[in-house]
Amino acid sequence: MKIDAETGKKIQELQVLEQNIQNLLMQKQAIQIELTEIENALSDLKKSGDEVYKIVGGILVRSNKSDISSDLEEKKKILALRISSIEKQEKIFDEKAEKFKKEITAFVSESKNQE
């Protein structure tokens, strides 16, 4: 079966899209792990006493519990936004990939019918 230039280009674009989807999934997974760590830290912080420490530049420094809590909550919000953004990109890429798959499948079916 001979593939025309346009279909070849669509196949390449589909491969790039699938690679981009994989990259997004890896980013999303890394962010979800970080988000889980922050949620665990917040949970531990609520259980702790008033004397808390955080790591700054490789050393432990005494810090205010409310400051650490607000910092972690802010990071949590930012990570949730990043996950939301990645999910939107993922949806767009999935839709484009599905479109290319349909077009490629239609071409292959059409080519088989002509043989």
Domain residue extents for the chain:
5-114
Instruction: Give the residue, 45 or 8, on which the prediction is more confident.
Output: 45
The pTM of the full predicted model, rounded to 2 decimals, is: 0.81
Amino acid at 50: D
For residue 51, what pLDDT is reported? 87
What pLDDT, on a 0 to 100 scale, did the predictor assign at position 113?
76
Q: Which fold has domain 5-114?
A: Helix Hairpins (1.10.287)
User: How many angstroms separate the first and last alpha carbons of the chain?
Assistant: 9
How many beta carbons lie within 10 A of that of residue 100, not counting itself? 21
Q: Phi then psi for 54, rounded to 5 degrees?
A: -135, 160
